[in-house]
Amino acid sequence: MKPFRWGIFGTGAISAKFAEGLKAADNAQAHFVASRSLSKAQSFAQALKIPHGIEDYAKAATSGMADAVYIASPPAEHARLALMCLEAGVPVLIEKPFASNAADAQRIADAARAHGVFAMEAMWTRFLPAAQAFRDRLAGGAVGDVHMISGSFGTAKRIDPRNGAFDPARGGGAMAQLGTYPVSLAQWLFGPPVSIQASGRMGETGVDEDVAFTLRFANGVTGAFYASIRAWAPNDFQAMGPEGILAFHGPLYRPNGLRITRQAPQRFSEPKFHWKMRLKEHDAFHRIAQMMGWSARDRSKVENFRYTGNGYHYEADEVQQCVARGATESAIMPLDDSIAVARTLDAIRAALVTAPI
């Protein structure tokens, strides 16, 4: 059987990660890389042992050399390049964020549906075993009815004009680069939010650098989240209910397991001032507890759901399977989800711009 041929648009770090990840995919190969610069394309292809380096995206899209194209250009170019491929009948996997804004996300979805060609956002975390297990556990009532969720993704970067994260013209900013992860995961679990509030700081280059936002969902779940390209964060994600806490083990973007803390809700009881209570509040008890590292809430256990390779092949396998059976979108990452996430990102950024100082 011939391998599934992938074309890659863009020669950045994420393109290299995807190309390496394809080594663990099901019968796939990176067949070409395309760039505006022939020298960059050829250098990238040589370094990663990809057969072809192509100058000019339009030429690559109509070359017939790929069964699908992975678009890893700056977000501001996603819509243009995706439309180019879709009009040529080439399926696309578009790096997150799906587009710079909801209007462009809708244009991509409309074109994919009009041409009957597969398109999907590359929100790779949704496809990892740990994320799939997280969703299944919540649906199974692992912590009871979820009341709250939270997540953060922050990576401190030095301001550099060469870094697209700080360039509004290329689609930079904390929400586009990092905040899209917790937003997408939250909406995957609970649907689009019915209420959005945000506060943050715009940087000197004109992009959102630090953002705190809350989302309220139709089922009453409330979420609190943080994204930053100027500060480190725990890079975590968890759901909280009356029966405990379910959290990713490992970073938000690439979890390798689940941390489960089960704890029944407390019953009300009249206070009793007996010797046990007095002992637990004694200075000696607390000194020993602090030295031993005891914690009344430390009742968690970790279940491993390890990924293979570097984790990027799971989304590639989904694309290949969908294309093989003639599907035009993924049930795990459908186009309407990507549009809804883009709307949320737009609303958060708008709140930052209009918020009083």
Q: Nearest 5°: phi and psi at 246?
A: -115, 125
- Classify burial at 90, counting beta carbons within 10 Å of its beta carbon; exposed 0-12, middle 13-18, buried 19 or more: buried
318: Cβ contacts below 8 Å, ≥ 6 apart: 120, 127, 330, 332, 333
Q: Nearest 5°: phi and psi at 156?
A: -70, 120
**Which is nearest to 186 in space by CA: 125, 231, 98, 144?**
125
Q: How far is CA 190 from CA 45, 223, 239, in A?
A: 41, 10, 11
pLDDT at residue 242, rounded to an integer: 96
- Where in 285-352 does DSSP place strands (E)? 300-304
Q: CB atoms < 10 A from the CB of 324, how many?
A: 11
List the chain pLDDT tens, one digit each, 357 residues: 899 999 999 999 999 999 999 999 999 999 999 999 999 999 999 999 999 999 999 999 999 999 999 999 999 999 999 999 999 999 999 999 999 999 999 999 999 999 999 999 999 999 999 999 999 999 999 999 999 999 999 999 999 988 999 999 999 999 999 999 999 999 999 999 999 999 999 999 999 999 999 999 999 999 999 999 999 999 999 999 999 999 999 999 999 999 999 888 878 878 777 888 888 888 888 888 888 776 655 678 999 999 999 999 999 999 999 999 999 999 999 999 999 999 999 999 999 977 655
* Residue indicated by tokens 């035009």: 328
Cα–Cα distance measured from residue 75 to residue 5, given in angstroms and rounded to the nearest whole number: 23
Q: How far is CA 14 from CA 161, 267, 289, 322, in A?
A: 19, 50, 46, 23
How many C-alpha atoms does 159 have within 13 Å on its Cβ side? 9
Handedness of CA 233, 239, 241, 245 (dihedral sign): negative
User: Residue 205 corresponds to which tokens in the numbers above?
Assistant: 């280059």
Cα torsion 62, 67, 71, 72 to 10°: value is: -120
Q: Kindly give the pairing relationship between strand 208-217 and strand 193-202.
A: antiparallel
Cα–Cα distance measured from residue 240 to residue 35, given in angstroms and rounded to the nearest whole number: 45
Taking CA 345 as the corner, what is the angle to CA 6 and CA 247, rounded to the nearest 5 degrees?
80
Do residues 299 and 280 make contact, with C-beta atoms less than 8 angstroms apart?
no
Helix or strand or coil: residue 83?
helix
User: Domains along the chain?
Assistant: 4-126+310-341 (3.40.50.720), 151-306 (3.30.360.10)
Which neighbouring-strand residues pair with 300?
261
User: Residue 172 corresponds to which tokens in the numbers above?
Assistant: 């930079």
Burial string for 111-145 (b: 16+ CB within 10 Å, else e) reads bbeebebbbbbbbbbbbbbbbebbeebbeeebbee
- Is 0.85 topped by the overall pTM? yes
